[in-house]
Structure 1
Amino acid sequence: MFKNKKTVIFFTLIVVLSLVLTLGCSRNNSESQGNDQNNEPVEEPQKLTIEELYPLNVGDYWKYAGTGNEFAPFEQKVLYREDNRVQLQMVNPGTTLGMVYEFQEGQLVVVYSQEELYDEENILMRENTMESVILQEPIEVGTTWKTADNRTFEITDISATVETPAGKFTDCVEVVSTFEGYEAVNTMYYKPSLGLVKQVYEEGEFKVTQELEEFKVATYNE
């Protein structure tokens, strides 16, 4: 069911280090008091927001190499953005897809998708036809959510290292999605300030891998 062109097209569709500081108690009260005086308050690091993980600014561009399926390679570009809505153009060997993402409260949601959209028509204000959450805060291990199409997403790592044709990326956020009733597993890796750098779709012996090959992203300076 998940091996046709539409699935691969749709399938072609942040990072926080939690520091736990434990202050050991001293053997006597005087040592404890001394330690208390010398220890400065430790500020907890701020958690990443979705927009920091996947900025999606107009003009941002990503090109992905793909293996395992003829439709796996694709290019993606941000065409328009207004307030919290973003329009992307996604091109693979089979079609050109127009998609509208919406930054909602603590979520990044795909709200509209149209195949065979070969020009750069502005479709930002099209009525929402779907609601598929692809990222959700807090960006920390264990965050889980479900979508209307019976998929479950979970953030499983926030410090993954990923090697791609575009380079080696550290401190990536790993998100795993599973499909209720099927063996399919989709694993996505996001680099903060850059966005999606790799994803792997597996269903039994069937495997599709997509890796970042080229990019031009205004917010990424590393």
Structure 2
Amino acid sequence: MKLSSVVCGLLLGVAGLGWSGCANNAEVVEEKPPDAAKLSEYYPLAVGNTWTYALDGRTDRQEQVKILKQEEGFFHDNKNGQLMVDSFGIRDEKRYLLRAPLEPGRTWTNVVSVSSTERYEILHVGIPCQVPAGSFQNCVQVEARNRVDAKATLINTFTFAPGVGLVRIQMEVEHDGRRIPQTRLELTSYQVNPGQG
């Protein structure tokens, strides 16, 4: 499975890593739309917003994501990523990264191919998160899983901070029930305007 274009571009650019497929579309579910303004707090989108990440805690391996333009509802960044907030969640052009309601246990899926599906779950809401850019409260942590074969599953854990955006990405491979760390990206600095809301 491929991460969101923003995240995937960041990981591919920094670590040469990424998911093995590409989602065809985000799941569409009939439900009452949540408060989009609250969702937008977890990924402030505006032209000029910038996030800088360190790879595996190394200050000499950093990558910057900057929003360059807004077009057809999507905010485009310098890593060929596209993000938007709609009435159901934060999404790229193919999948939802975060969906309401923001509560532990909330799940959704994105179809990757006939034989592969991304499965997302909100693990924690309202937790603290400490990264080099600072200490953030009321964060939301989401786990994305994609089974590779009978023994291996790719796992990404995303942590979103309100008013900031994505502050941590942890990639792991679960093999025979054991998680093996692959890479970690942590926010070292950021400059955001509230933008869309």
TM-score, normalised via structure 2 length? 0.69
In the other structure, the counterpart of 1:184 is: 154
Amino acid at match of 1:135: L
Judge conservation of contact 1:47–1:139 (CA < 8 Å) in 2.
Answer: no
- What is the RMSD computed on CA atoms of the aligned residues? 3.0
Structure 1 distance, partners of 2:108, 2:159, is 17
Which of 81, 94, 110 is the matching residue for 1:147?
110
Which of 67, 73, 78 is the matching residue for 1:78?
67
In the other structure, the counterpart of 1:168 is: 135
Unpaired stretches in structure 2, ≥5 consecutive residues: 3-11, 22-34, 174-178
Correspondence list, 1:77-156, <5 A: 77-82=66-71, 84-90=73-79, 98-111=80-93, 131-149=94-112, 150-156=117-123
In the other structure, the counterpart of 1:49 is: 38
Deviation at 1:186, TM superposition (A): 1.0
Q: What SS does structure 1 have at the residue aligned with 2:18?
A: helix
Judge conservation of contact 2:57–2:186 (CA < 8 Å) in 1.
Answer: no
Structure 2 distance, partners of 1:6, 1:184, is 11
Amino acid at match of 1:168: S
Matched, 1:7 2:18: yes
Residues 52-93 of structure 1: per-residue CA shift (max 9 Å, x gap): 221211110000001189xx7421111112463211123xxx
Deviation at 1:102, TM superposition (A): 3.3
Structure 2 distance, partners of 1:139, 1:205, is 28
- More contact order relative to length (CA 8 Å, sep ≥ 6): 2
Judge conservation of contact 2:154–2:172 (CA < 8 Å) in 1.
Answer: yes
Q: What SS does structure 1 have at the residue aligned with 2:41?
A: helix
Bigger CA radius of gyration: 1
Q: What SS does structure 1 have at the residue aligned with 2:40?
A: helix
Q: What SS does structure 2 have at the residue aligned with 1:142?
A: coil
Structure 1 distance, partners of 2:88, 2:65, is 23
Structure 2 distance, partners of 1:170, 1:107, is 20
